[in-house]
Amino acid sequence: MNTNQDPIFPKGNKTSVDYFTGNAWLNVLVPKDETGSYSIGDVAFEPGCRTTWHTHPAGQILLITHGQGFYQERGKPARSIAKGDVVVIPSLVEHWHGATKDSSFTHIAVTNIVENVAVNWLTPVTEEEYASCHVTA
């Protein structure tokens, strides 16, 4: 029986500490397809976990399936995101996403790939940047 608290997919493999602050797991649902144009993964974040700042050369779509989190583009305030939300990330926009300090958070990431590159990892989100985020209704 699947309740609202049960994950849709198994947790997957632990992500690299080079690209995440805290613990996250990636389950690759669809590896890079034969055209080399996209991949799909389920990413589960523990409370307080977040990505580093990064960009995608051809954008990304996040489908939020569990919990509460934040999405922030460089130079803009962070926005609250939660189960049922969809985030469309434009190409080359510097951003990060992750869980709130009090909630786990899971999303399905549809990542477009250009010339074999899906993501360009940048610098960690500072504690000050993260602390400035607020959950909104």
Q: What is the CATH number of the domain that holds 117?
A: 2.60.120.10
If one counts the domains in the chain, the total is 1
Is 88 among the domain residues? Answer: yes
Model confidence pLDDT, tens digit, residues 36-71: 799 999 999 999 999 999 999 999 999 999 999 999
Quote the CA–CA distance of 24 and 46 in Å, as a whole number: 6
Is 98 among the domain residues? Answer: yes
CA triple 57-83-74, angle to 5 deg = 35
Is 101 among the domain residues? Answer: yes
Model confidence pLDDT, tens digit, residues 89-124: 999 999 999 999 999 999 999 999 998 899 999 999
CB 87 within 8 Å of CB 64: yes
Is 110 among the domain residues? Answer: yes
Is 8 among the domain residues? Answer: no
Closest CA to 24 of 73, 86, 66, 85: 66
Looking at residue 5, what is its pLDDT? Answer: 63
Is 28 among the domain residues? Answer: no
CB 97 within 8 Å of CB 15: no
Is 62 among the domain residues? Answer: yes
